[in-house]
Amino acid sequence: MKTIDDFNFQNKKALIRVDFNVPQDDQLNVTDDTRIQAAKPTIDKILKDGGSAILMTHLGRPKGGVEDKFSLKHIASKVSEVLGVEIQVAEDVIGEDAKSKAVNLKPGEILLLENVRFHAEEEKGDKEFAKELASLGDIYVNDAFGTAHRAHASTAIIAEFFPNAKCFGYLMKQELEAIDKVLKTGDGPVTAILGGAKVSSKITIIDNILPAVDNLIIGGGMTYTFIKAQGGDIGNSLVEDDKLDLAMDIIKACDEHDVNLYLPLDNVIADKFSNDANTKIVAVNEIPDGWMGMDVGPETNLEFAEVIAESKTILWNGPLGVFEMDKFAKGTISLGEAIAKATEKGAFSLVGGGDSVAFVKQYNYDEKVSYVSTGGGAMLESLEGKELPGVAAIMN
């Protein structure tokens, strides 16, 4: 795996694909700079070597052409603040302004190109567009794990024009090593916790990780497809009726791979999908009509915590309940606490996927786990065993 540590950037222009697709408020101020912070070590190393940095990123989903609200000029001051360097902003990604600013960039300076998605050629993976981008720099650095699963011009195609001068940034290296730890190199017992609504969205992950894990914990809405498949009563809980056979296949596959499968024992049920609903705790397979499962119960929290306490490598993707409502966040909080304790005792813990990442940030567990992935879709596709175009382009 070639990383920026394999290059000296003195008097070189590093063309870096970063992921600065950051959230903004109505005034277009950046509300969370995590992704900018994540790219800082890579940019710092390049500048310290005596090189300069040309940054490429997308922001939002512009619908063909230039849209002011998606212009990178709105995030430039936050990027400057985080990186501690006054940055220049190009009027476009390619063209005269971008070229002249790139040519005149001096060591220690940073140029931020305009939103790459203002050009339709970016998402089409257009070779000529990639070639024009490539002409701006000497070395290509991919540090955008969040877009590594896309075969876009700036994430994959561009690497062809740097046959001997392409590498991963520190963020990409960390992401790939974290996933590798879960799937290949981590100490056992390895425990995967999968939550969320649908079995169908997790089946390829389950298929791919079963040979690598010792324990599989299932939570969230997909619990009830498993419980119904086994003949339990689930009331009005979320269920995928067309996936009952699939749930039974997963139970059988766990048995064949000697993987311990843990489903909730009890759950908090509600008479409506609301924070002010009436609630009670019942066995997970004894939910009366008119009631729905919203969170795991206390017995389940204890059992899951025991499994996690014995684990040396932990993957967590998806909450155990509807944590957005305080009343149904206890199970996910208990899980976060158990993973934090195991991590403190030396376990490696990887958290990824939109809802899990949102949870660990909201409840301040992001500093208490080993690694929080910055790339939802890219991480999930890695766990599914798919080759990511942005990764393959550097490795090949």
Host H or E run for residue 372: strand 371-372
125 catalytically annotated: no
> Strand pairing of 266-270 and 279-283?
antiparallel
Choosing from 95, 188, 290, 354, the catalytic residue is 354
Nearest to 199 by CA among 268, 153, 246: 246
Rg (CA), the chain: 23
Detail the residues annotated as belonging to a binding site for substrate.
19-21, 35, 58-61, 117, 150
Detail the residues annotated as belonging to a binding site for ATP.
202, 293, 324, 353-356
Give the separation between CA 80 and CA 36, rounded to whole angstroms: 10
Give the separation between CA 187 and CA 349, rounded to whole angstroms: 11
Choosing from 12, 35, 243, 330, the catalytic residue is 35
195 catalytically annotated: no
Detail the residues annotated as belonging to a binding site.
19-21, 35, 58-61, 117, 150, 202, 293, 324, 353-356
HSE, CB side, 13 Å, CA atoms: give it for residue 378: 24
Give the separation between CA 184 and CA 197, rounded to whole angstroms: 27
Choosing from 232, 341, 361, 377, the catalytic residue is 377
83, 88, 91, 94: CA torsion to nearest 10 = -80
- Go through the chain and tell me how many residues it has: 396
Nearest to 203 by CA among 145, 237, 264, 254: 254
Choosing from 131, 198, 361, 386, the catalytic residue is 198
User: Measuring CA to CA, how many Å separate 341 from each of 25, 54, 295, 303, 353?
Assistant: 35, 41, 21, 15, 21
CA 102, 108, 114, 116 dihedral sign is: positive
Asked whether 295 and 171 are in contact (CB, 8 A), the reply is no
> Across the chain, which distance is largest between two alpha carbons, in Å?
71
Ordered alpha helix ranges (H), the chain: 34-49, 76-83, 96-103, 120-124, 127-134, 170-180, 203-209, 223-229, 244-256, 298-309, 330-344, 354-362, 376-383, 389-395
45 catalytically annotated: no
Angle between helices 330-344 and 354-362 (to 10 degrees): 80
354 catalytically annotated: yes
Active-site residue set? 35, 198, 354, 377
